[in-house]
Amino acid sequence: MAIYDVKSNKAEEFINDGEIRETLAYAEANKHNEALIDQILEKARPHKTATGYHCAGLSHREASVLLACDIPEKIEKIYQIAEEIKQAFYGNRIVIFAPLYLSNYCVNGCVYCPYHMKNKHIPRKKLTQEEVRAEVIALQDMGHKRLAIEAGEDPVNNPIEYILDCIKTIYSVHHKNGDIRRVNVNIAATTVENYRKLKEAGIGTYILFQETYHKESYLKLHPTGPKHDYDYHTEAMDRAMEGGIDDVGLGVLFGLELYKYEFAGLLMHAEHLEAVHGVGPHTISVPRVKHADDIDPDAFDNGISDEIFAKLTACIRLAVPYTGMIISTRESEAVRSQLLRLGISQVSGGSRTSVGGYTEKERPHDTEQFDVSDQRTLDEVVRWLMENGHIPSFCTACYREGRTGDRFMALCKSGQIVNCCHPNALMTLKEYLEDYASPETRKVGMEVIEREIPKITNPKVRQIAVEHLHDMEGGKRDFRF
C-alpha cells in the first residue's frame, strides 16, 4: 500500500489515492461545519502588508471542505474572496494567448480525443516549417504575441527535433510590427534531456494536462500508447523542472472523473511541486470535456454544470492564490465572463484548434481537437474584455526579463509584481490598438488607458510609461518594465 508523501518522487505517493479518499470523506463530514468553514475562509482571505497583499493559500484538504460545502451564503463568501484575491494579485489584467496546432498525428488511444490512433476518418496533417511560418504571420496579423503550441504524441512524425524546429521558426518570424515573444509548449511527457532542449530553445511555460488523477480511470481512458503509463505521465513535471524548466502548467480535463477527486489530486500535485522544487505551478488550466470529431461528451458521465464549474474555479483560486489560471475557447462567452471574475487570469482569443487553421479564410472543422464555443475574433474578445472592466494584456516581459519560477513567485508574493504588470499591460495594449485594432476597439482602448494610467502608484514608473505610450505613436515598439 502506497503511503502519502508530498516529497516523494513516485506518482502514487505524492498523488495518493488513500489520501484523496480520506480528504473527500473529511470534506463530506465537515461540509456543514460552519465554524471550520469560516476559519478556512479567513485563512484564504488576502491580508494587507507593507508592500501589497499576502495570501496563505489552502491545503488540498481545506479547499476540499469549501468545495463540498453547499451552504448558499458560504458559497457566496467563497466567490467574494476569490474576487478579492483576483483583484489583489492580478487586478483587472487578463493575459491573451492563442493555441497553435502543429500536428495531429498521434500514437495514443485516448478515448476522449479525436486525434486517437484508431480514428481513421480524421485527416492527418503536420505543418511544414513554411506552413508554420504562414500560421505565425496570420496570428501576428491578428495581434497575438504569445502562443501555446500543441502536437499529438508520435515519435516518428512529431519527434522533439520537429518541435524544436517549429519553436525556432516561430521566434524567427518578424512580420510588420509583429513578433511572437513567448512560446508555451503543450506536448507529451518526455525525458529530462528533451526538457533541457526545450528550455534551451527559449520556451515559456511547459504545459501538460494530467487528464485525470484517478489511476484506474486513467488506465482505461488511455488504453494504448505511451500515454498509458500513468506514473511516467504524472512525474513529467518533476523531470521538466530537473531539466531547468521552472514555469510549468497543470490541468485536468473535468468530466472524465468525479470532480472532487480531480480537485484534490490537482492541488496535491501543486503542493508536491512546491515542496520538492520550491515553486508550484505557474498556471492551472480548467478545461471541460467538449464535443469533437467522433467524441461525444455525454459518453462521459462525470460532466459538471456551469454552477459547479464556477465553484471549482473559485476554490482553486483560494487554494493557490499566486498561480495563473487559464480558460480556453472551449467555453462560451457567458461562462468565460463569470469565471474571469472568480480567478481566471489568462484567456485565448480568436482560437482555431485545427492544424493549419489560421491561414484558412473560413474556420476548418475537419481537424479540430474540440469544438470552439467562443468563436469571436481576437478584436471582438479584446473589446469585450475592456467593456467589462478588464485590461487585455499581451505582456511577455517576465519571461524575457528572467522573472520566472521562484523569482516570479517571490515578486508575486511580496506584492511587487504589480509595479511591472500594470504598466506593461497598458503598453502592450497600446501596441495592439496602434497596429491591429478596429476603430471601435481602438476608441474603447484609448479610454481604458487614459483611465488606468493614474492608477500606476509609483510616480517614476508612471512617468516612464506615459513617455513610452507617447513614443509608440511615433512607431516605436516593445517597451517593458
Letter for the amino acid at 274? E
d(CA 80, CA 96): 24
d(CA 436, CA 292): 31
Query: What pLDDT is recorded for position 364?
Result: 66
Q: Which helix (DSSP H) or strand (DSSP E) does residue 185 occupy?
A: strand 182-186
d(CA 92, CA 87): 6
| Structural domain 92-375, CATH architecture | Alpha-Beta Barrel (3.20)
Query: What pLDDT is recorded for position 293?
Result: 54
The domain locations on the chain are 11-87, 92-375, 416-472
Query: What pLDDT is recorded for position 291?
Result: 54
d(CA 257, CA 284): 18
How many C-alpha atoms does 264 have within 13 Å on its Cβ side? 26
Query: What pLDDT is recorded for position 297?
Result: 55
Rg of the chain on CA atoms, in Å: 22
Tens digit of pLDDT at every position of the chain (481 positions):
789 999 999 999 999 999 999 999 999 999 999 999 999 999 999 998 887 889 999 999 999 999 999 999 999 999 999 999 999 989 999 999 999 999 999 999 998 888 888 888 888 999 999 999 999 999 999 999 999 999 999 999 999 999 999 999 999 999 999 999 999 999 999 999 999 999 999 999 999 999 999 999 999 999 999 999 999 999 999 999 999 999 999 999 998 889 999 999 999 999 999 999 999 999 999 998 865 555 465 666 677 889 999 999 999 999 999 999 999 888 889 999 999 999 999 999 999 989 999 998 876 665 555 566 788 999 999 999 999 999 999 999 888 988 988 888 887 877 777 788 999 999 999 999 999 999 999 999 999 999 999 999 999 999 999 999 999 999 999 999 9
Residue 251 bridge partners (DSSP)? 285
CA 151 to chain centroid: 17
Nearest CA-CA partner of 351 in 382, 330, 336: 330
Q: Give the global pTM.
A: 0.94
Query: What pLDDT is recorded for position 232?
Result: 98
Show the beta-strand stretches assigned E in 266-349. 283-285, 324-327, 346-348
Query: What pLDDT is recorded for position 292?
Result: 52
Task: Take residue 242 and report the three cell numbers written for it.
Answer: 530537473
Residues 6+ apart with CB under 8 A from 388: 337, 340
Query: What pLDDT is recorded for position 408?
Result: 87
Sign of the Cα pseudo-torsion (303, 305, 308, 312, in order): positive
